[in-house]
Amino acid sequence: MKKIITFLILLPNLVLAQMTAINPDTVCYQTGGSVYSVPLTSGLIYNWTIVTPGVIVGGQGTNQIQVDWSAAAPGLMPVAVQVQAANVIGCISPVVTLDVFIFDLTPVLSAVGDLCENGGCVQLIANPPGGTWSGSGVAVDQFCPIASGAGTFVVTYEVIYAGCSFVTAMSVNVLPIPMLLPIQHN
């Protein structure tokens, strides 16, 4: 009589993790520290891959990494973040991917031109509007040369859009008041 022996091998479940971010993920231009994660499953080792010039700065092997995108150019990077997981016996999950869009909004500033030290305040104009002006001689959204005095001054404009902060600066040149000596009679 033949005996048939059947072995049933039970493998631990390998859970396919899903990204929770909206695809593509939007990242502010020239900022670092984006965090990406998948749900933690006990017993899995996670292997993350990032498109260059992104750099994983922490978390490789875990379910959560931190990525520095500050060297990336603005625009869409398809399949920028990838992760796979393996269980203790080496079963590997399918790759889960995420596109990343590096968002850039460079404010455009209208040049002020040279001003006289004793001149009135001039309106500072930027596109997109709604940002914050700062610097010597700045009063809300005006540059006042009488407050700054003579010299060259850097005026900064910061606008926050879609959760990203964008900063642009320009120089304003303030000329001193011409001084005349008293009139002399010969």
186 part of a folded domain: no
Number of domains in the chain: 2
83 and 40 within one domain: yes
Give this prediction's pTM: 0.65
Q: What is the mean pLDDT of residues 145-162?
A: 93
73 and 45 within one domain: yes
Q: Which helix (H) or strand (E) holds 147?
A: helix 145-148
Q: Which domain holds residue 169?
A: 108-175
DSSP sequence for 5-19: ----PPPPP------
12 part of a folded domain: no
pLDDT in tens, 68-127: 998 999 999 999 999 999 999 999 999 999 999 999 888 999 999 999 999 999 999 999
18 part of a folded domain: no
Question: Strand 138-139 to strand 142-143: parallel, antiparallel, or no bridges (unpaired)?
Answer: antiparallel
Contact in structure between 108 and 169 (CB atoms under 8 Å): no
170 and 136 within one domain: yes
169 and 118 within one domain: yes
Strands of 72-150, DSSP E:
75-86, 96-103, 108-109, 115-116, 122-123, 126-127, 132-134, 138-139, 142-143
Please tell me what DSSP assigns to residue 145.
H
CATH of the domain at 36: 2.60.40.10
